[in-house]
């Protein structure tokens, strides 16, 4: 079991890992008995996929895939929430330092706080911000996860997928490591 230090990330991971276990158990049942599918699908599609072994298994495969893809989006969403909360707190602190310590000519400008970047609203912006401050290996993994999330979230249209997909557990560990690095 992965050790996830950040509480928010750990909670999301625990729910998603539990869902993954449930889905895998159900898929094993379908493998043993295709009619088991009728017990778990919405009423409207009962007997639609369970009549042939192959279609039942295809349904099971798509179930696992959909579950995994939802997990990717969900765990990255939690990571974003955590990281942006930290970024805003840090921005607030830096803004105060600038306000309190600005000397001429900087204090002539009402917009002096704008010298500190406050307009980052995407994960790619955060990645640019931390580039050079975390290891290249960790940054590459983070970019890989971000691209994977974008690939799924944007309908698999405009971003190339990663060559290798991380497991849910690996993803949680990598994102947690990044949070650890940010917290320094």
Q: Does 161 bind another protein (CB under 8 A)?
A: yes
- Rank residues 116 and 159 by Cβ distance to another protein and give the closer one: 159
What angle in degrees, to the nearest 10, is found between the helix axes of 136-153 and 123-130? 170
Size of the site for another protein (CB under 8 A): 28
74 near another protein, judged by CB under 8 A: no
Cα 159 from Cα 55, distance rounded (Å): 30
- Return the residue of 7, 132, 164, 184 that touches another protein, per CB under 8 A: 164
The SS3 assignment for 46 reads: coil
Helices (H) and strands (E) in the chain, counts: 6, 0
Single out the residue of 103, 158, 183, 184 in contact with another protein (rule: CB under 8 A): 158
Minimum distance of another protein from residue 152's CB (angstroms): 12
CA distance 25 to 5: 28
Q: Which of 159, 169, 181, 182 binds another protein (CB under 8 A)?
A: 159
Q: Is 46 left (phi over 0), alpha (psi -120 to 50) or beta?
A: beta
Instruction: Select the span of 38-46, 81-89, 124-132, 152-160 touching another protein (CB under 8 A).
Output: 152-160
The single residue among 147, 169, 179, 182 that binds another protein, judged by CB under 8 A, is 147
Rank residues 139 and 159 by Cβ distance to another protein and give the closer one: 159
Q: Which long-range contacts (CB under 8 A, 24 or more apart) does 59-68 make?
A: 59/30, 60/26, 60/27, 60/30, 60/31, 63/23, 63/26, 63/27, 64/23, 64/24, 64/27, 67/19, 67/20, 67/23, 68/20, 68/165, 68/168
Residues 13-42, interacting with another protein (CB under 8 A): 24, 27, 30-31
Binding stretches for another protein (CB under 8 A): 24, 27, 30-31, 53-54, 56-58, 60-61, 64-65, 141, 144, 147, 156-166, 170
């Amino acid at each position: 079991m992965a050790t996830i230090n950040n509480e928010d990330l750990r909670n999301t991971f625990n729910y998603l890992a539990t869902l993954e276990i449930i889905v895998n158990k159900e898929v094993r049942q379908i493998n043993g008995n295709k009619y088991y599918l009728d017990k778990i699908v919405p009423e409207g599609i009962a007997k639609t996929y369970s009549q042939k072994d192959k279609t039942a298994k295809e349904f099971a495969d798509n179930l696992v895939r959909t579950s995994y893809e939802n997990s990717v989006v969900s765990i990255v969403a939690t990571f974003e929430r955590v990281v942006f909360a930290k970024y805003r707190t840090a921005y607030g602190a830096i803004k105060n330092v600038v306000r309190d310590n600005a000397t001429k000519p900087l204090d002539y400008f009402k917009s002096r706080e704008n010298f500190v970047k406050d307009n980052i609203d995407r994960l790619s912006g955060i990645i640019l911000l931390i580039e050079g401050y975390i290891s290249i290996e960790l940054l590459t993994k983070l970019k890989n996860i971000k691209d994977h999330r974008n690939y799924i979230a944007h309908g698999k249209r405009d971003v190339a997928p990663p060559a290798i997909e991380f497991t849910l557990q690996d993803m949680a560990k990598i994102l947690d490591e990044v949070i650890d690095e940010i917290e320094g």
